[in-house]
Amino acid sequence: MSERVTIPSSTQELQINNLQYEDAGLYECWATNPLSLDRKNRTFTVRVQAKPYFMQELQNVELGINETAEFKCLAAGDPRPSIEWYINGIPLPGTIL
């Protein structure tokens, strides 16, 4: 992350370029000066949202009658994506997760 973090000269800003999911977290800003040993701080949270993406590709299968097929749709994102199953473009009832 260090090469993506800059503090523009003579400003009181922190800049994170090309924000990544791992940049999420609790950040703190501390202020102090020679007039006091007392340091002041403020905290804030950075939440990085990500579009849904598939963690694993589904594979085509060929099975015989009376065999069992099991499929896992592993998707991630933030906010967490919902999963819906369809067959030939028609939603399968009760499959919205």
In whole angstroms, give the CA distance from residue 53 to residue 69: 23
Its pTM stands at: 0.55
Tell me the pLDDT band of 97, cut-offs 50, 70 and 90: low
Kindly tell me if the per-residue pLDDT of 12 is higher than 80.
yes
At residue 96, does pLDDT exceed 90?
A: no
Any idea which residue has 């905290």 for tokens? 43
The first and second tokens of residue 34, run together, are: 């020679």
pLDDT at 64: 94
Q: In Å, what is the CA distance from 54 to each residue of 67, 80, 81, 82, 87?
A: 26, 12, 10, 12, 19
Which residues on adjacent β-strands are paired with residue 33?
36
pLDDT digits 0-9 by tens, 32-88: 888 888 889 999 999 988 899 999 988 899 999 999 988 889 998 888 899 999 999
Decide if pLDDT at 1 tops 80: no
Going from N- to C-terminal start, the domains of the chain cover: 2-46, 49-97
For position 90, what pLDDT does the model report? Answer: 93
| Bridge partners, 86 (sequence order) | 91
